[in-house]
Amino acid sequence: MKLLYFAWLRAKIGIAEETVELPAGVATVGALLDWLKRRGPGFADAFRDASVVRVAVNHTYVPWDHPIKADDEVALFPPVTGG
């Protein structure tokens, strides 16, 4: 799965994108966030308050219960600030 991070999420995590093997049992966006949070201090800091995290799967905004698959592109970012 391809993961993309933007704005201060990217800054806190320290990378802009990565490709990960999805662990068994991580089948939704919500589960992905819970798993990401436990990957280290940068991740824990970035995802501490999930209410300010927006998620897009394959370029479409999705809710927390949206299913995810191994070949998805999942982007995680703060609320957009507009142009």
Partner 1 sequence: MIRVQREDFDVGAEIDRLSRGRHGVGGIVSFVGVVRGAAGGEPIGAMTLEHYPGMTEKLLAEIEAEARQRWPLEDALVIHRYGRLEPGERIVLVVTASAHRQAAFEACEFLVDWLKTKAPFWKLEETPSGPRWVEAQASDDQATKRWVAE
* Interacting residue with partner 1 among 20, 26, 27, 62 (CB under 8 A): 62
Sheet holding 60-61, edge to edge: 17-19, 2-5, 73-77, 54-57, 60-61
Binding window for partner 1 (CB under 8 A); candidates: 18-26, 38-46, 53-61: 53-61
CB under 8 A: which stretch of 18-26, 31-39, 40-48, 52-60 binds partner 1? 52-60
What CA–CA distance (Å, rounded) separates 73 from 83? 24
Give contact residues for partner 1 (rule: CB under 8 A).
4, 6-8, 11, 30, 50-51, 54-56, 59, 61-65, 75, 77-83
